[in-house]
Amino acid sequence: MRLTLSARNDINLIASHGTRDVRIGEASLGAPLIVSATSLVPDWGARSASALDTALLEPVFALDPEVVIVGMPAPVVWPPAAVRAHFGARRVGLEVMEFGAACRTYNVLAQEDRRVVLALLP
C-alpha cells in the first residue's frame, strides 16, 4: 500500500509496506528493524513482542525517543509487563499496533518532527 503522494525527503519515511516489509526511499527492508527520522537499524534481533526484553530495546532507547511504536502483523500482542514498566520508568511512550497502522502513525509523527521510533517485528 502506498502511504504518501509527497513527503519530506530529509527524513526516513515509510513509502510503502507489505505485511512484513517496508520501503524506505529505494530500499526494501524486511522486519525486524528499527526506524527513526535519522537512523535505520536493519536486522534488529527481536523476533516477537513476547520475547522483547531490556537488552533488545537498547538500540531503540539509544535513539532518545519520546514515543516508540511497535508494529507487527495481526494479532497484536503487547510486550511483557516488565518491558512496559521499563518504558514507564524511562518516561517513553509505548504504542503497539498492527503493521500498517504503525507505519502510517510513524510517518505522521516523524513529519511533525516528533522523536518517534518505529520498531517493526516479523
Domains of the chain from N-terminus onward: 14-120 (3.40.1230.10)
Tell me the pLDDT of the chain averaged across its residues: 92
pLDDT given at position 20: 79
List, in order, residues 6 or more apart from 83 with CB less than 8 Å away.
52, 53, 54, 57
Q: Is the pTM of this model over 0.85?
A: yes
Mean pLDDT to the nearest integer, 83-104: 96
Strand order in the sheet with 14-17: 14-17, 21-24, 27-30
